[in-house]
Structure formats: structure tokens, C-alpha cells
Structure 1
Amino acid sequence: MWLVIDQGGHASRVLVIDRHGRPVAEARRPVSVSQPRPGWVEQDAGQIVASVREALADVAIQLGSACRQLRAAGLATQRSTLVCWDRRSGAPLSPAISWQDRRAAQWMRPFAAQRAKIRAITGLLPNAHYGVSKLHWCLQHLSAVRAARERGSLACGPLASFLLSNLLEEHPLLVDAVNASRTLLWDWRQRRWSAELLELFGLEKDYLPRGVATRYDFGPLAIGDLRVPLTVCTGDQPAALFAAGAPETGKAYINMGTGAFLQCVMPPSVAATDSPAQANLLRSVVWDEAETSIQVLEATVNGAGSALSVVAGELGIAGEEVQKYSAAWLTNADSIPLYLNGIGGLGSPLWREDFASGFAGPEASSATAPAKLVAVLESIIFLLVVNLEAMQGAGIPLQRIVLSGGLSVLDGLCQRLADICGLPVQRATQAEATAHGLAFLLAGSRAVWQKDAEDTVFSARENPALLERYRHWRDAMDEALGVQPAAQEADH
């Protein structure tokens, strides 16, 4: 059995999963999220540590003497969330600044001129969502961080590093390559911090954790009276990619939660060249071990579940009501407006951090609240379709879409994606994609995952009204982005 820690935006989950991919114990603790100012999203780093410890204790009670059957543990976290802490005491010196946070967007803007260099080294594009802008902000604005730097006790890094330091008995100062790659400071080819980028951003390596492989002897984790070696650390989305076993070419893997993340394994012909068609997509490290570094082509939609929450709040609809009625609304709503979704900033392939979200179309003024929420849900699908088209334009062959994550439970959402793309959409049986993917990575050759047998498949249907809304949405987005008609036709 394998112990997996899945630290997400709204909860810390600890699961124990057997060699067949079946959960045998599970505990969950909520974590709070605050937005003290527009564009700021942060969490209490100490609360995150406490939530994981409580969930571990709960699982230890559930397992009892069966704890002795645990072979190894793994950790998956939000990749671009950053923390500063005191390396001697382990105490946090900053909030956990969320991957959604864009407080340092203005500082990042001049680095757009270095876009080609940054992408060549990191696989990413200069963007305030990544760790470097948050690290710079902490050094500029938090006196406790500056004081720790002066006395030589400062540590800064991805949330994964902070949790490793606090949860493991030896308090290591380490970061895996996957989480390190989300800082805009990691050279994925050289597998080390980039001296060139550290100089470009005016930062030092001294307070960064040591970079290691995704599979590594990170140290012993206490669970009850036992010690379990933690041997895999990675990001939430890369782990989710392995939820049903090793990912395959020809499939687009989409995990829809707070954000929606689309990952495609690159065939050798695509991986060998970073073509102009890939320029607005990300090359993301999803696994790093020994001589093997696996990258995927990745696309991001920042406003998925978060967009639904924001608009529901604006409409005065409680989150519980949204969860309860979304499926019915998707089936029954009519006169659906368009929603131009820039919640959290427009992600790939459009990349516009200051995009103003809002409803559009002739139905916007008279639409009911349920119809507006359906428009938000459709906007998530529309943004995913734009990215799927970009993937195909970059040479990725697609025969099937695999969906996971909280929003994938909505049949109407899955069906709409199939209808627009003309591809079968396979909804993963396992709801906890990150946890199950992490367990697969821990188990390695010992895993005997049951693949696809119980998954639900949505086949494409004729849906002219939806396709018409998608075309109108594309036109409205192009107009809002200032795209000229000629360029618009070429883009389509």
C-alpha cells in the first residue's frame, strides 16, 4: 500500500491506495483561502501544514496495525504556490501565495521582452502566476523575509519544499524538478537553477532549496508510531496525468478544478522542435528521474471552478446551490448568454492578464441566473476548445479527450466538449486524479491499475445551437482582444 498526500487549493487529502488503485483509507481537512486585495490570493502556510498533519493522524487511526504495510509515501502540491520560511525553525515568514495570485504582475511586465530566452530555458512564458514574481514581492515587501535573508536563515520555494521541510523528520531543504520548474528559475534541460535567469530577475540561489529528481529519498515521514519513506514529490497536475497509468499519445488529458489544465504527451517529432506553433503553449516537466525528463505540451485555463465561484457570488447564489443544481441547469437552461472568461487572467494561448470578464450577446441583459452560470460553464469548455485547436496546430494528434477533476462530474459539460470537438470524451472513474496518479508513480512496476474499464464515454452529437454559440463567443473574444477581422479568419 502507498500513502499519498494531495495538498490542493481548498483541502489537504491523505489517502492510502493499494496496488490495484483502490483507496483503503482517506482523510480530508479543509484549508481556507483569502483574497485581501484584487488579484491577491493567499493561504495560511501554517494552517496547510497543520491540515496535512491532522489528515495523517486520522489515516493512522483508520489503518491501525495495517500502517506497517505502507511501502512509501508521496506528496503532490499546487505547483506555482510559493512560501518563504525560516530554515532553522521551519516557521513561515510569508503566506502561501497561491498559483492564482497576480500581485506582482506589474513587476513582471518588462520581462515580456525576454520571452524567447525565458521560454527556451524554462519551457514557460513570463507570467505573474509563476513563483519568481512572488519571491521578488516577498523580498521587497516583507520585513521578516528580509531579516531572515540578512541572518542567513531564509528559505524560499514552492509549497512542496515548505511542506517537505516541515513534515519530514530531517527537515530537508529540497525541491523536486517538477515544482522547481514552475518558478521561472529552473533550467529543465540542465536540471538546475539557472544562473542566467537568477541574474535576470535579480535573485540569489542561496535561499533556494536544492533541486532533486521527482523520485528521490526525501526522508522519513511519521505516521502514527511508524516512519514511512517519502520517495516521490511532484505537482498536482503532473500527478493527475498518471491517474489511469502511464499517459498515452493521441489523448488530451484535462483536469478541471479551480483551474483547468490540459496536457498532451508529445510525439518525438513534436518534442524534437519547439516550433512557432507551440509558442503560446507551455512545455511542462511532469516527471524527472535518473536520465529521464518527461515533458508535455500544456495549456491552462485559469478560470474554471474559480470562475464559477466568482460569478455565483456576484449573482448571490450559494456554492452549495451551484453544486446541487448545475447538472439540471446545464440540461434545462435556455436563452444562454456568452461569458467572456478572464477570471485569474486569460491563460493559454491568448495570454492577457488584464482581460475584463463579463457577459455578452443579446441574451445577456435578460438572462436568468442559472442561464448565466451555464454561460460560465460553457466558457470553460470554449477556452479548452481553443487550446485543443492550438495543440492540434502544434502537431499533436488527438483521438480522445480524458477528463478528470471536480467539474467533470457534470454530464452536460462533458457532452458539450465532445459535441464541439467531435472527439470522444472519456470521464475518468477516479475522482481523485492527483492522488491516484501519485500512487501510480509510487508503485511503479508493482501497480496493477484497472484502466478505462469503468470510465464513462461521451460521443459527439449534432449540436448546432452550441456550435453557433461557440462561433459567436470566438467573435466576441476577438473583438474584446482587439483582433482584426483578417487575423480572426486566419486564426480560425
Structure 2
Amino acid sequence: MTHILAIDQGTTSTRAILFDADMMPVATAQEEFPQVFPQSGWVEHDPSDLWSTTAATCRAAIEKAGLRATDVTAIGITNQRETTLIWDRATGQPIHNAIVWQDRRTADICRDLADHADMVSAVTGLLLDPYFSATKVKWILDHVDGARDRARTGELAFGTVDTWLIWNLTGGASHVTDATNACRTMLYDIHAGAWSQAICELLDIPMALLPTVHDCAADFGITRPDLFGRPIPILGVAGDQQAATLGQACFKPGMVKSTYGTGCFALLNTGDTPVASTSRLLTTIAYQLDGKPTYALEGSIFIAGAVVQWLRDGLKMIREAKETQPLAENSDLDQPVILVPAFTGLGAPYWNADCRGAIYGLSRNSGPEELARAALESVGYQTRDLLDAMRADWAGQAGDASLRVDGGMSASDYAMQFLADIIDAPVDRPRVLETTALGAAWLAGQRAGLYPDQAGFAARWALDRTFAPAMAPADRARKYHQWTRAVRATLTYAGAD
């Protein structure tokens, strides 16, 4: 048994990646699944899609690698965070579609609870926002007949996506999660390391719903024998952004990584100290090993790679994401088009659930080239917003000057060069871009004794390319000023000013 199977369950697709004993990917299988948009600002998944694509891609990756289940030492899981499911413990059937992290339907609930925002933040490190699981759980219990009573009697189970997958992988034997997923629910006390009874009572969420919380590297259960041909232990779990932090070997305080998937998420390792943000960032658990949490400051952007999907699926402007780079390179630089991709609201550091997307600076000559450039550059601008906020919160502390990047959009040289230019710092792209899956694989592999410890893993991190800032300071200042003006105008239109 010399391989680790990593499950990477994301917002628009599920992937399974097999890593060998040297932590190199040897086979990948991926399946997309449909998104469900019942109303403006609402985003759902069919829970059966999450499970069926997971089972199918795992089998496909093993087959593609020419391996058998007996060659797989363990499974690691990483997943989209905050997405919320509730199901019947007896039948395993969900009582509602999964409500996705992007969903904004609980904005009114958050406004009604505004008087409790400080308490929620002090306990969980999070802002009172629809982004997190807690108000989604409340919404399901409020809107599904009899759900709250059934939850009180222990008939129902809540879980983020990792919990749902583990439940199905183990045939209902394990109702568990890890600390990094638990801390994103807005129900978990990151200081006490336990579910918060006070917040559960505030939202009328029965604690009988909640899973058991483990370290990121732990015994999460064993797969059903019929799934892959033999039982395989599940030994590692981390939410996608925390898994990417691990995969980027950001083990030292001050190290920063930014992942560009559907959204964009930057994490700054703050060590064993939870830093309370004054810049509307999140205080979260980066990872937890041997019962000891390591904390981070996180900035979350709702729309990053999803803006390219919008160009493809919404505007039908491109067929593949890679087409954006030549379009952007051929754009008219004298047209300062700014796209604020607030399709489901604005995340950190603005946290406005009511904003929607806006484009500024259009002229009669604006076309696909200018829109592609604006889409790619919007990710750089939003990242600078996050890093500026982190610098304010981390003032006086030593930190890395460079930013480690990963995720699908990090493959775009144009986007990464603009990112380096606008943040005025080097951007380091690793040789292995599958850092999220690698982080989950490392957790399971080191738990199984196949992979090295933190120091050994960090020594193997390999650089592909550094993007050095090359933009003139005056141009950088002018461009970022245009961005901040566009964001202020968007907030004003949404009634925030």
C-alpha cells in the first residue's frame, strides 16, 4: 500500500487524485455537477450529486492509475466549506438541498441578530454573515416541516460536505468532522475547541444535530467494503482553504497563501495565537494536529474563478478559461474597464450581502478583450484588499514578503503577473498546483506513516515560478484608486452608503 487517495470536493466539480509515496500526483479524475439557483442570491446543490461524483471519481482515479484498492493506504478529504446539509440518520436521505456557501438567503436573519454580532465574533472568530453554516441550518429547520422537532429527538444529522461524504463512505457509521470545518460553521468556539451552546440556543439549533469534531489527522472511519473492493481508512480531513495552507507548507507564523478557485481565499498563519481582526477579516483555525490548533487570519472573496465561468457560461464569450489570457493581452489598455464581481455580494473586507456585480468604464469600443482583462484583474484587486487588511491586523509582526498562490487561476501568467504588480510583492507559484488535494493527502499520509512530518514536507515544497512586481508605482496607485472608487460606487448603489 503505497498511495494516498485525496478527495477534493469543490463548488462546481469533484476530483479524486492519487498521490504516490513521493507525494506526486499519478492519476486524476474529475466530474462537474450542476448548480441550482432557485432565486437571485440563492445557490444550492443536489446532495446526491456531491456523493455520486465522489464515488465515481475515486473509482475512476484508481482505475486510471492501474491500481487496486489494496494499493491505497488511506483517504484524505478536502471540501468546499460552510455548505450545509441536514439528513435523516435512519435513511441517509437529505431533507433539503445543500445550501452552498455562496448563498445569501439568510441575510435577513443576520440583520435580525445584529445585536449579538460581537458575541458571535468573540466566540467563533467569524462575522455574523450568511456565508457561514449556522444561519443556513436555522433556515432549513425553519422551513422544512417538523425538522426542528426531529432534530431535537436526534433523528436528523447536520454536516458540512466533509461530514456528508464521510457518512456515505462509511455507510452511516461515522458522523464526524474536523476542527477546520467545524470552525467555519459559526457554531464552534475556537478558543474552547467545542460547539457553542450559547450560539446554538440563540439560533434554536438542537446540539443533537452536530457531528463529533476531530483533529485534521485522525481516524475518521473506514469505507464500506463494497465501495472500492476493500475497506480503506479515512485519516485526514481539512476544509479546502486550510488544506491548501498545508499543501503550501505554510507552517510558520507570517506565511501567507492565496487560493484561486471559485472564490479566492487568503490565509495568514498566526501560530498558536488567535488574532482578533480590526479590519473585518476572519479569525479561524488553520489546522489542528495532536489536539493543538494553529490559527490564521483569513480573507474571503466570493467570486474569483467564478468570474471566468461567468464569461464562459453567462456571456458565452469564451469556450475555455485559458482563452481569457490572449484576450486580456490584446485588450486596449487605454480603456480602464473595472469589473466588480459582486454576483453574490461582497466578501472581506466589505461584507455586504446586498451588493451585486457592476462594470465601470465601458465605452463604445469595449469588447471581449477589455471584459476578459477586467475579469482577471478583479481578482488581483480583491486580493490586495485582503492583504492590506492583513497587514493592518498583523502590524509589527514578522511575515513573509512573498505570497504563495495555487488553484486553477494561478495557472494564468497574466493574472499572476497583475497580482504581483498590484500588491507590489513577489508571487510564488509552486511546481505542484494541486496544493489543496496535496494538503489532504499529506494529512492522511503522515497519519498512516507514509509521508514525512511538517519539517520534511516543507523541505519538499518546490517553486515553479516567481512573478516579480514590474508596474510603476504611479500606475499601481492610479489603478487601485480606480478600483476603490468602483467598489464605493457599488456599495452606494446597494444602499450601503
* TM-score relative to the length of structure 2: 0.90
Q: Is the 8 A contact 1:164 1:173 kept in 2?
A: yes
**Residues 183/150 of structure 1: CA separation in 2 closer, same or farther (3 Å cut):** closer
Paired AA for residue 471 in structure 2: E
Corresponding residue number in structure 2 for 1:332: 330
Aligned length in residues: 477
Aligned counterpart, 1:104: 106
Cα distance in 1 between the residues matched to 2:85 and 2:328: 39
> d(CA) in 2 for partners of 1:187 and 1:4?
28
Give the aligned partner of residue 259 of structure 1. 263
Shift in CA distance, 309/365, structure 1 to aligned 2, threshold 3 Å: farther
After superposition, the Cα gap between the structure-2 partners of 1:169 and 1:272, relative to the gap in structure 1 and judged at 3 Å, is closer
- 1:308-327 deviation digits (Å, cap 9, x = unpaired): 33355553424x24x14211
Any conservation in 1 of the 2:281–2:298 contact (CA below 8 Å)? yes
1:434 to 428, 433, 436: 436
Counterparts in 2 of 1:383-402, with a 5 A limit? 383-395=382-394, 397-402=399-404
Aligned mates of 1:332, 1:251 — CA distance in 2: 35
Give the Å deviation of 1:279: 4.4
**Distance in 2 between the 1:412 and 1:40 partners?**
32
User: Which letter does structure 2 place at the counterpart of 1:229?
Assistant: P
SS in 2 for 1:49: helix
Q: Which residue of 2 aligns with 1:455?
A: 464
User: Paired residue for 1:407?
Assistant: 409
Residue type of the alignment partner of 1:198: C
- Name the amino acid aligned to 1:341: P
In structure 2, the residue matched to 1:317 is 317
Q: How does 1:184-203 map onto structure 2 within 5 Å?
A: 184-203=186-205
The 3 A distance-change label for structure 1 pair 43 and 24 is same
Matching residue of 2:305: 305
The code of the aligned residue for 2:404 comes to V
C-alpha contact 1:169 1:220 (8 A) present in aligned 2: no
Question: Partner of 2:350 in structure 1?
Answer: 350
Segment drifting more, 50-59 vs 382-391? 50-59
The 8 Å contact of residues 337 and 371 in structure 1, kept in 2 or not, is answered as: yes
Change (3 A) 1:141 1:299: same
Contact 2:148 2:206 in 1 (8 A): no
Distance in 2 of aligned mates of 1:311 and 1:133: 31
| 1:165 aligned partner | 167
Tell me, what secondary structure is at the counterpart of 1:129? Answer: coil
Equivalent positions of 1:84-483 (< 5 A) are 84-143=86-145, 145=147, 148-149=150-151, 152-169=154-171, 171-221=173-223, 222=225, 224-266=228-270, 271=273, 274=276, 278-318=278-318, 320-321=319-320, 323-334=321-332, 335-361=335-361, 363-364=362-363, 366-395=365-394, 397-444=399-446, 446-447=451-452, 449=457, 451-463=460-472, 464-465=474-475, 467-481=477-491
**CA positional deviation for 1:387:** 1.0
1:273-303 deviation per Cα after TM superposition (whole angstroms, max 9, x unaligned):
53xx534111111212333111111001111
Q: Match of 2:105, as an amino acid?
A: R
| Structure-to-structure mapping, 1:9-48, within 5 angstroms | 9-48=11-50
CA deviation string 1:34-76 (max 9, x = no partner)? 1121111111101211111112222343455653232221111
* 8 A contact 2:249–2:461 mirrored in 1: no
- When normalised by structure 1's length, the TM-score is 0.90
How far off its partner does 1:264 sit?
0.8
- The answer to which of 425-434 and 302-311 deviates more is 302-311
Aligned 8 A contact 1:160 1:175 in 2 = yes
CA, structure 1 residues 28+280, in 2 after alignment: closer, same or farther (shift >3 Å)? same
Deviations 1:103-158 (A, max 9, x none): 11111112232222111110110110111111111112123745744764211221
Q: Quick one: which amino acid aligns to residue 298 of structure 2?
A: E
Distance (Å, rounded) in 2 between the aligned partners of 1:146 and 1:117 = 24
2:70 is matched with which residue? 68
Q: CA deviation at 1:80?
A: 0.4
Tell me, yes or no, if the aligned pair for 2:248 and 2:257 is still in contact at 8 Å: no
Deviation sequence 1:416-469 (CA, Å, 0-9, x none): 111122211111222322111111222237336564534111111034545422
Query: Against the structure 1 CA distance between its residues 316 and 224, is the aligned structure 2 distance closer, same or farther, given a 3 Å change threshold?
Result: closer
Output the CA distance in 1 between the equivalents of 2:61 and 2:381: 40
1-structure distance, mates of 2:314, 2:62: 41
What's the secondary structure of 2:247's corresponding residue? coil
Following superposition, the deviation at residue 407 of structure 1 comes to 0.8
**Cα distance between partner residues in 1 of 2:291 and 2:153:** 37
**Distance of 1:201 and 1:341 partners within structure 2:** 31
Determine helix, strand or coil for the equivalent of 2:268.
Answer: strand
Task: Name which of structure 1's ranges 340-349 and 168-177 shifts more when overlaid on structure 2.
Answer: 168-177
RMSD over aligned Cα, in angstroms? 2.4
SS at match of 1:266: strand
The alignment partner of 1:155 has SS state of strand
Contact 2:250–2:257 at 8 Å: present in 1 too?
A: no
For 1:297 and 1:473, the matched residues in 2 are separated by 23
Distance in 2 between residues matched to 1:78 and 1:234, nearest whole Å? 10
Post-superposition offset of 1:385: 0.4
Q: Would the aligned equivalents of 1:122 and 1:184 in 2 still touch at CA under 8 Å?
A: yes
For the residues of structure 2 that align with 1:472 and 1:368, how far apart are their CA atoms?
19
Indicate the SS of the match to 1:219: strand
- Residues 176 and 234, structure 1, Cα contact 8 Å, conserved in 2: yes
Specify the SS of the correspondent of 1:50.
helix
For residues 218-264 of structure 1, what are the alpha-carbon distances to aligned partners after superposition, in whole Å with 9 as ceiling and x for unaligned? 11124532211111122111101122434334432000010000001
Residue 143 of structure 1 aligns to a residue whose secondary structure is coil
State the distance in 2 between where 1:209 and 1:309 align.
Answer: 34
Q: Provide closer, same or farther for how the CA distance between residues 272 and 406 of structure 1 changes in structure 2, counting only shifts above 3 A.
A: closer
